[in-house]
Structure 1
Amino acid sequence: GRRQAGEPLASFTPALPPGWRVIWRGFRGEPWLRWSEAGDAPASNGTLTLCPPGAHDAALRQLVIAKSGRVRLVQPARVGNASLQAARALCGWT
């Protein structure tokens, strides 16, 4: 649950470009994401989907948040068809 030396930090600064959207889907269905002081996210595991404007599969990204607090970047277009189709549906591209 703790960040290791040399582990990169994710930042959303500056703001997303115009037309991009962020969609959160959590395990418990809560509309928020929460980390504890220890760095874990015990009740907030889920996925942040970054939807670019237009149906642009190569730009589609997901940040998968584990209960341990770890964040993993996923590019659905590179993972497989099922992952890509699910992400496209979240972005409203189906």
Structure 2
Amino acid sequence: MNAHGYTLSELMVSLVIISILAFLSLPALTTLIDSHHRRVHTQGLLHQFQKTRAIAASQHRNTALCPTDEQQQCASTWGNQLLMFIDENYSGAYEADEDTVQGKWALPKGWTLNWRAFGSQKKITYTPSGVLLGQNGTMEVCPVSATDEIGTLTLSRSGRPRLGRRRYSESLCAN
């Protein structure tokens, strides 16, 4: 007999092999997706700092980033939203008569930011020369759930932001 096709047992064996391979590759896929999300959100934060620095230099005015709340006011703790504004009166706080450079920038729901530096600075201000007014430090981008690594953005005293990463267990995200 000259039959074409596969037998049921051959199809079942193939299906079992494909299922096993898919099951074994799932953890690697999850790690890849987590790594991608970390990079995308950390690069989005990097863009905000680069934009703040560029606006301060091009407009010759102090430009600040601060954590914000739903009322578009500077908040006392770092959450997942940032407000960029021109600090006309050098108060370090956003006031109604000051220009916002853009609307709020936000991480996805559940993600948070942690600022690690000496002191308790609740805003980051760039001067017209592009340097930081105040202190340098590291911003941590914390995911919704624990992962192996988190994204970081380190600000030098000169104002230059630099991407990095840190083990989740060594971060403030774990607290």
Contact 2:124/2:133 (8 A) holds in 1: no
Give the unaligned 5+ runs of structure 2: 1-45, 49-81, 83-103
Tell me the distance in 2 between the aligned counterparts of 1:31 and 1:14. Answer: 16
Relative to structure 1, is the Cα distance of residues 64 and 44 closer, same or farther in structure 2, using a 3 angstrom cutoff? same
Contact 1:35/1:44 (8 A) holds in 2: no
Tell me the alpha carbon deviations over residues 26-49 of structure 1, each in whole angstroms, 9 at most, x when there is no partner.
233322211111101141200111
Number of the residue aligned with 1:73: 163
Summarize the alignment of residues 48-63 of structure 1 with structure 2, pairs less than 5 Å apart: 48-58=139-149, 60-63=150-153
Count of residues paired in the alignment: 76
Aligned structure 1 segments of 4 or more residues deviating by more than 4 angstroms? none
Cα RMSD over matched residues? 2.3
1:30 lines up with 2:121 in the alignment = yes
Tell me the alpha carbon deviations over residues 74-94 of structure 1, each in whole angstroms, 9 at most, x when there is no partner.
1114xxxxxx5321xx01x26
The secondary structure found in structure 2 opposite 1:10 is helix
The secondary structure found in structure 1 opposite 2:162 is strand
Scaled by the length of structure 1, what TM-score is found? Answer: 0.66
Tell me the alpha carbon deviations over residues 12-34 of structure 1, each in whole angstroms, 9 at most, x when there is no partner.
88621111001112233322211
The percent of aligned pairs where both chains have the same amino acid is 33
- Structure number with greater CO (CA < 8 Å, separation at least 6) is 1
Decide which structure has greater helix share. Answer: 2
Of 110, 123, 127, which aligns to 1:19? 110
Tell me the distance in 2 between the aligned counterparts of 1:42 and 1:14. Answer: 21
Tell me the distance in 2 between the aligned counterparts of 1:15 and 1:42. Answer: 23
